[in-house]
Amino acid sequence: MLDFMILSDIAKRLNHDHGQADNLPPAIFITDQQAGADPEKIISRLPRGSGVILRDYDHPTLEKLGANLAVLCRDRGVLFLVAGDMGLAINLAADGVHLPEWCIDQALAIRASHPNWIITVSCHDRASVIRAAELPIDAGLIAPVFPTLSHPETFSDHKATLGMSGLRDMVAATKLPLYALGGVTTENAHQLVGSGVAGIAAIRGFG
């Protein structure tokens, strides 16, 4: 529980330093059944004002899971986004959507039909954050920053991660709020302080 609090506290500091305290959540939890995390348990511990992205693309009962998590998020004062499925986001009365990098250009149509939604997008290089800043997108999740179990190759090939230098390069390339994603833990999150990111996104980090 202490580690969870420390990571959330660092996320709050990053968010405050970026000036996003009144606009975007400091911490974003991303659901992933393959990671073995219990989403209900994690959401019940998230501080009010955090965010959740439902990203269990292959979950056998995704709509049921989403409905349960959407209610829990509303009760907890947590923003609820759906990844890659605008129809499901509408059905679940979500607060917005998260887009994979390959469908970043869909942001234009989504914003036109849902002007009040929060739209986030995955970004993996400098070009993608520059493109995202040209679109009606609220924030980018840049990854992988550190070695992560979601991409085992990152543990043997340092070039497979952004590292702090890559992260800073992407932050410097845009004014779009960016979240650090990928292998962020209580052991390395302090490195993000002063980097210019707006918060922390994690699958296992809040577990």
pLDDT exceeds cutoff 80 at 3: no
pLDDT exceeds cutoff 60 at 1: no
DSSP annotation of 204 reads: S
Radius of gyration, CA atoms only, the chain = 16
Torsion of CA 113, 115, 121, 125, to 10 degrees: 110
Report the C-alpha gap between 50 and 30 in whole angstroms: 11
pLDDT tens-place string over residues 130-153: 999 999 999 999 999 998 877 667
pLDDT tens-place string over residues 112-130: 999 999 999 999 999 999 9
DSSP annotation of 26 reads: S
Q: What is the pLDDT of residue 59?
A: 86
HSE value, Cβ hemisphere, 13 Å, CA-based, for 115: 1
CB neighbourhood size of 88 (10 A): 17
CB neighbourhood size of 151 (10 A): 15
- pLDDT above 70 coverage of the chain, percent: 93
Start-end of H helices in the chain? 2-18, 39-45, 62-76, 86-91, 107-113, 126-133, 163-172
Residue type, 67: A
CB neighbourhood size of 47 (10 A): 17
Domain 2-202 is found in CATH 3.20.20.70: yes
Q: How far apart are the first and last CA of the chain?
A: 9
Q: Hey, where are the domains in the chain?
A: 2-202
**Residue 2 confidence class, pLDDT cut points 50, 70, 90:** very low
Report the C-alpha gap between 164 and 59 in whole angstroms: 33
